[in-house]
């Protein structure tokens, strides 16, 4: 699936909107914010965070005009730059219990936003995306992540296989999820430095990604259901890694 956001440079600014995403961005010192457009009510309720910011007080109708109809802006939008990273070495890999996630061929921004929120809830350090066939940071991802986009590092890499090999040298075990795998997911596989690799529901992990994994596992479930949504599968894996 081609996503229009892939046509933009990695650091291209975009309109982030909604109370939770924008307030979280305002509290993140690493987030570059060019300008904030908000209603008088939002400005009054968040005076401290908005101090020394370039803001413009507007009517709600103006926000609808710049964002388009149907966007639940909650009285605020901000022109921001992406905080996606481009180098895995910008992530601290030294923690003996570091948990990372690879999203291979997952291009739906709503799924990615949901996975980011789950990752923040269960202590995932970073999410790794391939440079190709994955979206850039967008308002949809930020909105679905509901403020947690500022809590989990997102890294886009040009060569996923090389990154996986590098992580192995850093002491990580790579666990790939495959509905056809013989091995069943267990907490013992998720102890210590682990990379959880997930593919899209329709395609799964690519061949080279699968071959580079140390283990291929499946989530045991009722025979009445063929598969789980990738964000649901991710939440199960993240929880088990959190309690392992």
> Which DSSP category does 85 fall into?
B
Tell me if 179 sits within 8 A of 223, measured CB to CB.
no
Q: From the CB of residue 58, how many other CB atoms can be counted at a distance below 10 Å?
A: 20
Taking only the tens place, the pLDDT of each residue in 37-96 is 999 999 999 999 999 999 999 999 999 999 999 999 999 999 999 999 999 999 999 999
> In 24-66, at which residue ranges do the beta strands (DSSP E only) sit?
33-38, 55-57
- The CATH number of 10-80, from 3.30.70.890, 3.60.15.10, 3.30.1330.30, 3.40.640.10, is 3.30.1330.30
Q: Are 189 and 215 in contact (CB under 8 A)?
A: yes
- The number of CA neighbours under 13 Å toward the Cβ of 73 is 26
The residues pairing with 111 across neighbouring beta strands, listed in sequence order, are none
Per-residue pLDDT of 99-153, as tens digits, reads 999 999 999 999 999 999 999 999 999 999 999 889 999 999 999 999 999 999 9
Residue in the structure block whose two tokens are 């990615």: 112
Decide which of 3.40.1280.10, 3.30.930.10, 3.40.50.620, 3.40.30.10 is the CATH code for 88-243: 3.40.1280.10
pTM: 0.92
What number of other Cβ atoms are within 10 A of residue 178's Cβ? 18
Question: Could you give the CA distance from residue 59 to residue 230 in angstroms, rounded to a whole number?
Answer: 38
């Amino acid at each position: 699936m081609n996503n229009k956001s892939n046509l933009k440079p990695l650091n291209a600014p975009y309109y982030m909107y909604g109370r939770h995403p924008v307030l979280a961005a305002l509290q993140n010192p690493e987030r570059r914010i060019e300008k904030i457009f908000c209603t008088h009510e939002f400005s009054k309720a968040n005076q401290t965070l908005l101090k020394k910011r370039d803001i413009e007080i507007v009517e709600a109708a103006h926000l609808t005009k710049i964002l388009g109809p149907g966007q639940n802006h909650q009285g605020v939008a901000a022109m921001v730059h992406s905080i996606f990273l481009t180098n895995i070495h910008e992530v601290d890999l030294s923690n003996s219990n570091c948990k990372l996630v690879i999203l291979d061929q997952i291009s739906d921004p709503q799924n990615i936003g949901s996975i980011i929120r789950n990752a923040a809830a269960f202590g995932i350090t970073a999410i790794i995306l391939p440079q190709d066939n994955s979206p850039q940071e967008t308002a949809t991802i930020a909105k679905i992540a509901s403020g947690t986009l500022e809590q989990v590092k997102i890294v886009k890499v040009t060569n996923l296989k090389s990154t996986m090999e590098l992580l192995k040298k850093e002491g990580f075990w790579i666990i790939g999820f495959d509905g056809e795998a013989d091995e069943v997911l267990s907490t013992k596989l998720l102890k210590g430095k682990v990379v959880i690799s997930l593919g899209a529901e329709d395609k799964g992990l690519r061949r080279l990604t699968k071959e580079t994994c140390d283990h291929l596992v499946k989530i045991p479930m009722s025979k009445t259901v063929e598969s789980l949504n990738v964000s649901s599968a991710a939440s199960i894996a993240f929880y088990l890694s959190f309690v392992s």
